[in-house]
């Protein structure tokens, strides 16, 4: 089972999404992200964007974004969660 997103997935976001992603990750100081670690044009440091972290980010809206009916077994849970997180970050 895939546990975290890939750099390719992260780089598919628009510029606003990448900036919001940096803000989200920097809220948790324990990772010590430098200011430029996720800045455009390419995001490289994505190993901390795990299934658990994405569920935590979506919080109470998790069921709104990923319901058992919306998540198909042929799609990795990680990828389904990332699509929901990406949608929130890019708004």
Structural domain boundaries in the chain:
7-90
DSSP 8-class letter at 44: -
DSSP bridge partners of 46: none
Q: Is 70 helix (H, G, I), strand (E, B) or coil?
A: coil
* pLDDT (tens digit per residue) in 39-52: 545 566 677 789 98
Among candidate residues 83, 70, 89, the one with its CA nearest the CA of residue 18:
89
Beta-carbon contacts of residue 84 (< 8 Å; ≥ 6 apart):
54, 58, 62, 65, 66
Are 16 and 32 in contact by the 8 Å Cβ rule? The answer is: no
* pLDDT (tens digit per residue) in 24-75: 777 765 555 555 555 545 566 677 789 988 888 888 665 565 555 456 667 7
């Amino acid at each position: 089972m895939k546990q975290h997103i890939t750099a390719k997935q992260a780089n598919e976001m628009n510029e606003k999404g990448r900036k919001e992603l940096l803000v989200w990750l920097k809220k948790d100081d324990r990772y010590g992200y430098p200011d430029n670690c996720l800045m455009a044009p390419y995001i490289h440091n994505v190993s901390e964007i795990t299934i658990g972290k994405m569920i935590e980010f979506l919080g109470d809206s998790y069921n709104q974004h990923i319901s058992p009916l919306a998540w198909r077994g042929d799609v990795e849970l990680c990828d389904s969660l990332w699509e929901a997180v990406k949608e929130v970050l890019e708004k």
